[in-house]
Protein backbone atom coordinates (compact mmCIF):
# COMPACT_ATOMS: atom_id res chain seq x y z
CA UNK A 1 0.00 0.00 0.00
CA UNK A 2 1.14 3.52 -0.82
CA UNK A 3 0.02 6.56 1.20
CA UNK A 4 0.11 9.99 -0.48
CA UNK A 5 -0.63 12.94 1.80
CA UNK A 6 -0.32 16.68 1.42
CA UNK A 7 -2.18 20.00 1.20
CA UNK A 8 -4.76 21.09 -1.39
CA UNK A 9 -3.35 21.70 -4.86
CA UNK A 10 -0.04 19.89 -4.38
CA UNK A 11 -1.06 17.53 -7.19
CA UNK A 12 -1.88 14.50 -5.00
CA UNK A 13 -4.78 13.20 -7.08
CA UNK A 14 -3.01 13.23 -10.45
CA UNK A 15 0.15 11.78 -8.92
CA UNK A 16 -1.63 9.09 -6.89
CA UNK A 17 -3.74 8.04 -9.88
CA UNK A 18 -0.68 7.96 -12.11
CA UNK A 19 1.21 5.77 -9.63
CA UNK A 20 -1.79 3.44 -9.28
CA UNK A 21 -2.00 3.13 -13.06
CA UNK A 22 1.67 2.46 -13.59
CA UNK A 23 1.84 -0.18 -10.82
CA UNK A 24 -1.66 -1.60 -11.55
CA UNK A 25 -2.97 -0.79 -8.08
CA UNK A 26 -6.37 0.39 -6.87
CA UNK A 27 -6.82 4.05 -5.91
CA UNK A 28 -8.66 5.70 -3.03
CA UNK A 29 -9.39 9.44 -2.87
CA UNK A 30 -10.30 10.06 0.78
CA UNK A 31 -10.88 13.80 0.18
CA UNK A 32 -13.71 12.83 -2.18
CA UNK A 33 -15.40 11.02 0.73
CA UNK A 34 -15.31 14.15 2.94
CA UNK A 35 -16.54 16.15 -0.04
CA UNK A 36 -19.39 13.70 -0.77
CA UNK A 37 -20.60 13.85 2.82
CA UNK A 38 -20.42 17.67 2.75
CA UNK A 39 -22.36 17.79 -0.53
CA UNK A 40 -25.08 15.57 0.96
CA UNK A 41 -25.33 17.61 4.19
CA UNK A 42 -25.66 20.85 2.19
CA UNK A 43 -28.24 19.29 -0.14
CA UNK A 44 -30.23 18.22 2.91
CA UNK A 45 -30.05 21.64 4.57
CA UNK A 46 -28.07 20.41 7.56
CA UNK A 47 -26.43 23.33 9.39
CA UNK A 48 -22.78 22.35 9.02
CA UNK A 49 -21.66 25.09 11.42
CA UNK A 50 -23.10 22.98 14.27
CA UNK A 51 -20.91 19.86 14.81
CA UNK A 52 -23.67 18.02 16.72
CA UNK A 53 -26.03 18.47 13.75
CA UNK A 54 -23.40 17.09 11.39
CA UNK A 55 -22.76 14.10 13.68
CA UNK A 56 -26.49 13.43 14.06
CA UNK A 57 -27.13 13.36 10.29
CA UNK A 58 -23.92 11.97 8.79
CA UNK A 59 -25.11 8.35 8.65
CA UNK A 60 -27.91 9.39 6.30
CA UNK A 61 -25.29 9.74 3.58
CA UNK A 62 -24.53 6.32 2.14
CA UNK A 63 -21.20 6.82 0.41
CA UNK A 64 -19.83 4.39 -2.18
CA UNK A 65 -16.40 5.17 -3.50
CA UNK A 66 -14.88 3.57 -6.59
CA UNK A 67 -11.24 2.49 -6.61
CA UNK A 68 -10.48 2.47 -10.34
CA UNK A 69 -7.72 5.04 -11.03
CA UNK A 70 -9.00 5.46 -14.61
CA UNK A 71 -12.54 6.37 -13.52
CA UNK A 72 -12.70 7.33 -9.84
CA UNK A 73 -16.47 7.74 -9.33
CA UNK A 74 -18.19 8.49 -6.05
CA UNK A 75 -21.85 8.01 -5.19
CA UNK A 76 -24.07 9.16 -2.35
CA UNK A 77 -27.36 7.35 -1.89
CA UNK A 78 -26.86 5.84 -5.36
CA UNK A 79 -26.39 9.20 -7.15
CA UNK A 80 -23.10 9.94 -8.91
CA UNK A 81 -21.74 13.12 -7.30
CA UNK A 82 -18.26 13.04 -8.86
CA UNK A 83 -18.88 16.45 -10.50
CA UNK A 84 -20.90 18.29 -7.81
CA UNK A 85 -18.37 17.54 -5.06
CA UNK A 86 -15.75 19.67 -6.89
CA UNK A 87 -17.66 22.97 -6.68
CA UNK A 88 -16.28 25.93 -4.72
CA UNK A 89 -19.30 25.75 -2.43
CA UNK A 90 -18.26 22.26 -1.32
CA UNK A 91 -14.54 23.16 -1.22
CA UNK A 92 -15.26 26.07 1.10
CA UNK A 93 -17.52 24.02 3.40
CA UNK A 94 -15.66 20.70 3.61
CA UNK A 95 -13.11 21.61 6.30
CA UNK A 96 -15.84 22.33 8.86
CA UNK A 97 -17.35 18.90 8.25
CA UNK A 98 -13.95 17.15 8.27
CA UNK A 99 -13.15 18.71 11.66
CA UNK A 100 -16.05 16.91 13.39
CA UNK A 101 -14.52 13.98 15.35
CA UNK A 102 -17.48 11.66 14.70
CA UNK A 103 -17.14 12.31 10.96
CA UNK A 104 -13.47 11.40 11.04
CA UNK A 105 -14.07 8.21 13.02
CA UNK A 106 -16.88 7.20 10.64
CA UNK A 107 -15.03 7.88 7.38
CA UNK A 108 -11.68 6.56 8.62
CA UNK A 109 -13.37 3.23 9.50
CA UNK A 110 -14.76 3.08 5.96
CA UNK A 111 -11.35 3.97 4.47
CA UNK A 112 -9.63 1.24 6.49
CA UNK A 113 -12.17 -1.28 5.26
CA UNK A 114 -11.58 -0.34 1.60
CA UNK A 115 -7.79 -0.45 2.04
CA UNK A 116 -8.00 -3.75 3.94
CA UNK A 117 -10.11 -5.30 1.20
CA UNK A 118 -7.67 -4.25 -1.55
CA UNK A 119 -4.69 -5.53 0.40
CA UNK A 120 -6.43 -8.82 1.26
CA UNK A 121 -7.30 -9.32 -2.42
CA UNK A 122 -3.62 -8.85 -3.28
CA UNK A 123 -4.40 -5.79 -5.44
CA UNK A 124 -2.65 -3.17 -3.38
CA UNK A 125 -3.86 0.41 -3.28
CA UNK A 126 -2.68 4.00 -3.43
CA UNK A 127 -4.63 6.08 -0.91
CA UNK A 128 -4.44 9.86 -0.88
CA UNK A 129 -5.49 12.40 1.72
CA UNK A 130 -4.18 14.38 4.67
CA UNK A 131 -3.71 11.73 7.35
CA UNK A 132 -3.29 8.41 5.50
CA UNK A 133 0.31 7.66 6.51
CA UNK A 134 -0.14 8.96 10.05
CA UNK A 135 -3.65 7.92 11.13
CA UNK A 136 -5.61 5.86 8.58
CA UNK A 137 -2.83 3.41 7.65
CA UNK A 138 0.29 4.03 9.74
CA UNK A 139 1.47 0.53 8.74
CA UNK A 140 1.73 1.56 5.04
CA UNK A 141 5.16 0.46 3.75
CA UNK A 142 5.40 3.46 1.41
CA UNK A 143 4.51 7.01 2.49
CA UNK A 144 4.87 10.20 0.50
CA UNK A 145 4.14 13.76 1.59
CA UNK A 146 3.59 15.91 -1.48
CA UNK A 147 4.03 19.68 -1.16
CA UNK A 148 4.37 22.73 -3.41
CA UNK A 149 4.61 26.47 -2.82
CA UNK A 150 1.36 28.29 -2.07
CA UNK A 151 1.41 30.04 -5.45
CA UNK A 152 2.04 26.83 -7.39
CA UNK A 153 -0.84 25.15 -5.55
CA UNK A 154 -3.23 28.07 -6.21
CA UNK A 155 -2.28 28.05 -9.90
CA UNK A 156 -2.98 24.35 -10.15
CA UNK A 157 -6.35 24.67 -8.42
CA UNK A 158 -7.52 27.61 -10.52
CA UNK A 159 -6.58 25.68 -13.64
CA UNK A 160 -8.83 22.88 -12.29
CA UNK A 161 -11.65 25.44 -11.90
CA UNK A 162 -11.08 27.07 -15.30
CA UNK A 163 -14.26 28.19 -17.00
CA UNK A 164 -15.53 30.36 -14.17
CA UNK A 165 -14.23 33.89 -14.95
CA UNK A 166 -14.90 34.97 -11.35
CA UNK A 167 -12.26 32.55 -10.13
CA UNK A 168 -8.87 34.22 -10.27
CA UNK A 169 -5.59 32.81 -9.00
CA UNK A 170 -5.73 35.42 -6.19
CA UNK A 171 -9.22 34.35 -5.10
CA UNK A 172 -8.22 30.68 -5.24
CA UNK A 173 -5.12 31.45 -3.19
CA UNK A 174 -7.20 33.24 -0.52
CA UNK A 175 -9.75 30.40 -0.33
CA UNK A 176 -6.98 27.84 -0.26
CA UNK A 177 -5.20 29.63 2.58
CA UNK A 178 -8.43 29.60 4.59
CA UNK A 179 -8.92 25.88 3.90
CA UNK A 180 -5.26 25.12 4.78
CA UNK A 181 -5.72 26.93 8.10
CA UNK A 182 -8.85 24.94 8.96
CA UNK A 183 -7.31 21.68 7.71
CA UNK A 184 -4.07 22.03 9.65
CA UNK A 185 -5.44 20.05 12.60
CA UNK A 186 -6.20 17.12 10.30
CA UNK A 187 -2.96 17.20 8.37
CA UNK A 188 -0.39 15.04 10.02
CA UNK A 189 2.81 14.21 8.22
CA UNK A 190 4.10 10.77 9.19
CA UNK A 191 7.66 10.84 10.51
CA UNK A 192 8.67 8.18 8.00
CA UNK A 193 7.09 9.88 4.96
CA UNK A 194 9.34 10.98 2.11
CA UNK A 195 8.66 14.60 1.17
CA UNK A 196 8.43 15.55 -2.51
CA UNK A 197 8.12 19.22 -3.53
CA UNK A 198 6.22 19.28 -6.82
CA UNK A 199 6.89 22.99 -7.52
CA UNK A 200 8.30 23.34 -11.01
CA UNK A 201 8.47 19.62 -11.79
CA UNK A 202 6.15 17.84 -14.17
CA UNK A 203 3.54 15.26 -13.22
CA UNK A 204 5.45 12.42 -14.91
CA UNK A 205 8.51 13.19 -12.84
CA UNK A 206 6.49 13.21 -9.60
CA UNK A 207 4.97 9.84 -10.55
CA UNK A 208 8.42 8.46 -11.37
CA UNK A 209 9.80 9.62 -8.02
CA UNK A 210 6.97 7.94 -6.10
CA UNK A 211 7.33 4.74 -8.11
CA UNK A 212 11.04 4.58 -7.38
CA UNK A 213 10.48 5.25 -3.67
CA UNK A 214 7.96 2.38 -3.72
CA UNK A 215 10.47 0.11 -5.47
CA UNK A 216 13.30 0.91 -3.07
CA UNK A 217 11.19 0.76 0.10
CA UNK A 218 9.57 -2.53 -0.73
CA UNK A 219 12.30 -4.28 -2.70
CA UNK A 220 9.99 -5.22 -5.52
CA UNK A 221 6.32 -5.90 -5.15
CA UNK A 222 5.54 -5.81 -1.44
CA UNK A 223 3.47 -2.62 -1.78
CA UNK A 224 0.51 -4.91 -2.21
CA UNK A 225 0.78 -5.62 1.53
The piece of 30-38, 61-69, 71-79, 189-197 that touches ligand C5P (CB under 6 A) is: 30-38
SS (H, E, C) the chain: CEEEECCCCCCHHHHHHHHHHHHCCEEEEHHHHHHHHHHHHHHCCCCCCCHHHHHHHHHHCCEEECCCCCCCCEEECCEECCCHHHCHHHHHHHHHHHCCHHHHHHHHHHHHHHHHHHHHCCCCEEEEECCHHHHHCCCCCEEEEEECCHHHHHHHHHHHCCCCCCCCHHHHHHHHHHHHHHHCCCCCCCCCCEEEECCCCCHHHHHHHHHHHHHHHHCCCHHHC
The piece of 45-53, 72-80, 128-136, 159-167 that touches ligand C5P (CB under 6 A) is: 128-136
Among 4, 8, 65, 100, binds ligand C5P (CB under 6 A): 8
Any contact of residue 31 with ligand C5P (CB under 6 A)?
yes
Nearest distance, CB of residue 166 and ligand C5P, angstroms: 20
Among 26, 67, 95, 134, binds ligand C5P (CB under 6 A): 95
* Cβ proximity of 22 and 207 under 8 Å: yes
Nearest distance, CB of residue 220 and ligand C5P, angstroms: 28
Nearer to ligand C5P, 104 or 217 (CB): 104
Any contact of residue 175 with ligand C5P (CB under 6 A)?
no
Q: CA–CA separation, 4 vs 20, rounded Å?
A: 11
Nearer to ligand C5P, 31 or 84 (CB): 31
Site string for ligand C5P, 33-72 (x = CB under 6 A): -xx-------------------------------------
Any contact of residue 147 with ligand C5P (CB under 6 A)?
no
Binding residues among 97-126 for ligand C5P as defined by CB under 6 A: 98
Binding site for ligand C5P (CB under 6 A): 8, 30-31, 34-35, 94-95, 98, 129-131, 179, 183, 186
Amino acid sequence: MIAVDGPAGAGKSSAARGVARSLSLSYLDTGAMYRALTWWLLANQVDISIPAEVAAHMRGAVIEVGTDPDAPRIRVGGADVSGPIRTREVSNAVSAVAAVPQVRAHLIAQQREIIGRAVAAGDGIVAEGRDIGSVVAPEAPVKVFLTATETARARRRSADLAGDPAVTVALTQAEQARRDGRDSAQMARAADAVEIDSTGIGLDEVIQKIVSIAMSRTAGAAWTT
